[in-house]
């Protein structure tokens, strides 16, 4: 995937050779500047016209035939800075644009150019609308589609597809107003015998109120994948009898096994400094640490990867350079963890609980990957849409914070390529088990929001923000 991505970065400029970039419905031009020089790392300096809209930065060469074009969605911009530029004649002032897709772009223009400040300010304002009190472009996008992507995922329909509710599991509306847990969906599946009062006590014991709830059930063995956050045991090894009984009930719901496997995504040493389930408090549970690193380690790994792939690649040291980033090592760890979860469900007929610290990063990666392995429905276009909506968006992955949508704080310690890693893992699966894997997808407009609860509160459906699921079929056929 890394080599393919590097080639895509180089080819992207060559592919866009239209006379002018077509504007999306609702997209508007904010500033146009001529005699701007793009300092291309592959072709040298290219003189042309710069157009900034509320969605993209578009550069078109003035003299080349066919024209050389750079088309950059503003959402991929991480940082914009003024720089000095040397050896480019009258164009002595410049802007460096650091992108989230690994590109670094440099522009140069004349120092006396009247609209140079306007260029910089429009780029900063439009690339980081949230930091400047402006709406994201998604709210201005006006294209109409025959399919309503907001209706692709129906939790009740999805749980019905899985055969739920049944005698052991029920649909709970305890979180219908997001009062139990504001980062969980309104519809939850919990053991039939558990009362709401006990669920509230379990929520008080679990970080962020993220109680163990069902994500997937095996159609034959009834072994389940449940997800949650870490227990708040604290330094004094605090216990919660309701939580202990709750996990026992989850185990009892599966008559095929008398054991519950708890997969803690974290490293052993880190988890034991936080909260984890001791075997003395949970005697029928086996605790397994998957040793996956935290968001800060993953962010640093991506930074190192960017350094070795753009703008040039050292072919003679390629393998050792990739190895030094640890990116593929971390991808392997995620896939290996998901395989262990899937194997316990399929071969071991044993129910599993999956969590990390808060249960919205590594947990989402692992449950979604394991479900993709176990259930062929999720390997269809429609099923993959449902999987992302369900395990990532509805269960509160912090897309806005991890990606930094519209935010100019590029050094924010909460940014991390968590969803990017998931997509890389899916790509690896499509290459390694090609016949079993169908979908290839892009990013989600739903993911502008941190979780479904925020999506509902901000009324993005009512304001006609388009969902990715509206365009997935078209994306898929284009890829084919």
Question: For residues 213 and 224, what is the distance between their CA atoms, to the nearest angstrom?
Answer: 10
| Predicted local confidence at residue 259, as pLDDT | 96
Q: How far apart are CA 452 and CA 78, in angstroms?
A: 25
Is 361 annotated to bind a ligand? Reply is: yes
Coil, strand or helix: which one is 358?
A: coil
Mean pLDDT along residues 180-191: 98
Q: Which residues are catalytic?
A: 356
Q: How far apart are CA 146 and CA 304, in angstroms?
A: 42
- Give CA 344 to chain center in angstroms: 26
- The number of beta carbons lying within 10 Å of the beta carbon of residue 221 is 18
The predicted model gives 395-403 an average pLDDT of: 97
Distance CA 374, CA 341 (A): 10
Are 285 and 249 contacting, i.e. CB atoms less than 8 angstroms apart?
A: no
Q: Is the separation of the CB atoms in 172 and 216 below 8 Å?
A: no
Lowest mean pLDDT among 34-48, 244-258, 268-282, 376-390: 268-282
Identify the pLDDT of residue 254: 97
Write down the pLDDT at residue 146.
84
453/451 Cα distance (integer angstroms): 6
Q: What percent of the chain has pLDDT over 90?
A: 70
pLDDT for the residue numbered 12: 47
Q: For residue 441, what pLDDT is reported?
A: 44
Go through the chain and tell me how many residues it has: 480
- Reduce the DSSP state of residue 275 to 3 states and report it: coil
Average pLDDT for the chain? 87
pLDDT for the residue numbered 460: 54
Any residues with CB less than 8 A from the CB of 453 and at least 6 apart, and which? Answer: 178, 182, 183, 184, 185, 186, 396
pLDDT in tens, 39-72: 998 888 999 999 999 999 999 998 877 888 999 9
Q: Where are the alpha helices (DSSP H) in 212-294?
A: 241-252, 268-271
Per-residue pLDDT tens over the stretch 423-463 = 999 999 999 887 666 544 444 445 555 545 444 444 555 55
The model scores a pTM over 0.75: yes
Q: Is 4 annotated as a binding residue?
A: no
Q: Write the burial class of residue 177 (CB in 10 Å: 0-12 exposed, 13-18 middle, 19+ buried).
A: exposed
Cβ neighbour number for residue 477 with a 10 Å cutoff: 9
Q: What per-residue confidence (pLDDT) applies to 112? A: 62
In angstroms, the CA 60 to CA 71 distance is 9
Q: Give residue 144's pLDDT.
A: 86
197 is annotated as contributing to ligand binding: no
Output the pLDDT for position 446: 52
**Looking at residue 15, what is its pLDDT?**
42
Q: Give backbone dihedrals phi and psi of 454, rounded to 5 degrees, phi first.
A: -70, -40
State residue 21's pLDDT score.
66
Gyration radius of the chain over CA positions: 24
* 358 in a labelled binding site: yes
The answer on whether 295 is annotated among ligand-binding residues is yes
Q: Do the annotations mark residue 360 as ligand-binding?
A: yes
**Residue 8 or residue 279, greater confidence:** 279
**Higher pLDDT among residues 478 and 106, named by residue:** 106
- In this predicted structure, what is the pLDDT of residue 402? 97
pLDDT score at 475: 40
| Cβ–Cβ under 8 Å, residues 351 and 253 | yes
In whole angstroms, give the CA distance from residue 31 to residue 200: 54
- Which three-class secondary structure state does DSSP give residue 61? strand
Q: Contact at 8 Å (CB) between 50 and 32?
A: yes
Give pLDDT, residue 289.
97
Q: What is the mean pLDDT of residues 193-208?
A: 98
pLDDT range class, residue 283, cuts 50, 70, 90? very high
How far apart are alpha carbons 165 and 64 in whole angstroms? 64
pLDDT tens by residue, 109-155:
876 655 678 889 999 999 999 999 999 999 999 888 888 888 899 99
So what's the pLDDT on residue 416? 98
pLDDT band at 471, cuts 50/70/90?
Answer: low
Is 8's pLDDT higher than 60? no
Q: How far apart are CA 105 and CA 17, in angstroms?
A: 19
Would the annotation count 210 as a binding residue?
Answer: no
β 260-264/352-355 pair status: parallel
The 10s digit of each residue's pLDDT in 93-109 is: 789 999 999 999 999 98
Q: For residue 165, what are the CA distances in angstroms to 162, 187, 214, 296, 470?
A: 9, 12, 11, 39, 29
Residue-level pLDDT at 453? 47
Residues facing 56 on adjacent strands = 73
């Amino acid at each position: 995937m890394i080599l393919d991505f590097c080639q895509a970065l180089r080819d992207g400029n060559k592919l866009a050779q239209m006379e002018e970039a077509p504007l999306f419905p609702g997209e508007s031009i904010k500033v146009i500047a001529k005699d701007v020089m793009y300092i291309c790392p592959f072709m040298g300096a290219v003189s042309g016209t710069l157009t900034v809209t509320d969605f993209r930065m578009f550069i078109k060469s003035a003299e080349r035939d066919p024209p050389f074009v750079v088309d950059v969605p503003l959402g991929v911009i991480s940082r914009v800075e003024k720089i000095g530029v040397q050896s480019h004649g009258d164009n002595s002032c410049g802007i460096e644009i650091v992108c989230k897709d690994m590109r670094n772009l440099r522009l140069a223009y004349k120092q006396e150019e009247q609209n140079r400040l306007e260029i910089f300010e429009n780029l900063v304002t439009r690339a980081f609308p949230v930091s400047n009190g402006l709406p994201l472009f998604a709210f201005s996008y006006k294209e109409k589609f025959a399919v309503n992507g907001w209706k692709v995922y129906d939790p009740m329909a999805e749980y019905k597809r899985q055969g739920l509710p049944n005698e052991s599991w029920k649909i709970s509306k305890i979180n219908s107003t997001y009062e139990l847990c504001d980062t969980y969906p309104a519809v939850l599946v919990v053991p039939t015998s558990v009362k709401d009062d006990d669920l509230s006590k379990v929520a008080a014991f679990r970080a962020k109120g993220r109680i163990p709830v069902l994500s997937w059930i095996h159609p034959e063995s009834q072994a389940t994948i449940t997800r949650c956050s870490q227990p708040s045991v604290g330094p004094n090894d605090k216990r919660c009898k309701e939580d202990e009984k709750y996990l026992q009930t989850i185990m009892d719901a599966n008559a095929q096994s008398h054991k519950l496997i708890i997969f803690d995504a974290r490293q052993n040493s880190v988890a034991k400094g936080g909260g984890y389930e001791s075997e003395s408090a949970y005697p029928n549970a086996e605790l397994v640490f998957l040793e996956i690193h935290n968001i800060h380690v993953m962010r640093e790994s991506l930074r190192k990867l960017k350094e070795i792939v753009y703008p040039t690649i050292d072919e003679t040291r390629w393998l050792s350079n990739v190895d030094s980033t640890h990116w593929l090592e971390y991808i392997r760890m995620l896939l290996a963890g998901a395989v262990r979860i899937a194997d316990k469900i399929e071969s071991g007929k044993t129910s599993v609980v999956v969590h990390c610290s808060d249960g919205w990063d590594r947990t989402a990666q692992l449950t979604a990957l394991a479900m993709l392995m176990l259930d062929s429905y999720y390997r269809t276009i429609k099923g993959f849409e449902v999987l992302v909506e369900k395990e990532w968006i509805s269960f509160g992955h912090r897309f806005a914070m991890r990606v930094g949508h519209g935010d100019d704080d590029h050094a924010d310690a909460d940014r991390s390529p968590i969803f990017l890693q998931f997509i890389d893992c899916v790509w690896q699966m499509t290459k390694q088990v090609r016949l079993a894997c169908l979908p290839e997808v892009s990013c989600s407009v739903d993911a502008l929001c941190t979780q479904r609860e925020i999506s509902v509160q901000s009324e993005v459906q009512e304001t006609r923000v388009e969902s990715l699921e509206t365009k997935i079929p078209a994306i898929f056929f284009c890829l084919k």
